[in-house]
């Protein structure tokens, strides 16, 4: 099962709350939180955690929530699958060279590089 955290902002009125609960009626929701955004706005933030088998129903539920709010934020709420373990083999450097521990590579991933003098 996949767990999804969904967050959106909606108007703090009975109609918006009813549409919010209607969009979630058919889904296995484990957490629902509605909180005021601030004293000076008439908006609330809704946060939902949904458990879906094979992610069925996620698209239709997000479509219904998007009709309520122009911005719907979705993220995984469960732990990601464990990464495959890789064996780290130290590399021998030629005499006179040193290593820098990090560099920015394509895709903003960190990796080791060798620096010459």
Is this model's pTM higher than 0.95 or not? no
The string of pLDDT tens digits covering residues 39-78 is 777 888 989 898 877 667 788 888 889 888 988 998 888 7
Q: Where does 2-76 sit in CATH, by number?
A: 3.30.70.260
The string of pLDDT tens digits covering residues 88-101 is 666 666 676 665 55
pLDDT value of position 28: 84
Strand partners, 113: 100
Cα–Cα distance measured from residue 113 to residue 91, given in angstroms and rounded to the nearest whole number: 11
Cα dist from 1 to 31, 60, 75, whole Å: 16, 18, 14
Nearest to 14 by CA among 38, 40, 39, 44: 44
pLDDT range class, residue 8, cuts 50, 70, 90: very high
Quote the tokens at residue 48: 């939902």
């Amino acid at each position: 099962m996949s767990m999804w955290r969904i967050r959106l902002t909606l108007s703090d009125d009975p109609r918006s709350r009813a549409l919010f609960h209607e969009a979630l009626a058919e889904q296995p929701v484990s957490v629902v939180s509605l909180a005021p955004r601030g004293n000076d706005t008439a908006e609330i933030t809704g946060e939902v955690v949904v458990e879906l088998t094979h992610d069925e129903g996620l698209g239709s539920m997000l479509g219904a929530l998007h009709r309520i709010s122009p911005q719907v934020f979705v993220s995984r709420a469960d732990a990601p699958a464990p990464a495959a373990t890789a064996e780290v083999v130290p590399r021998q450097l030629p005499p006179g060279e040193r290593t820098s521990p990090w560099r920015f590579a394509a895709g903003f991933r960190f990796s080791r590089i060798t620096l010459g003098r």
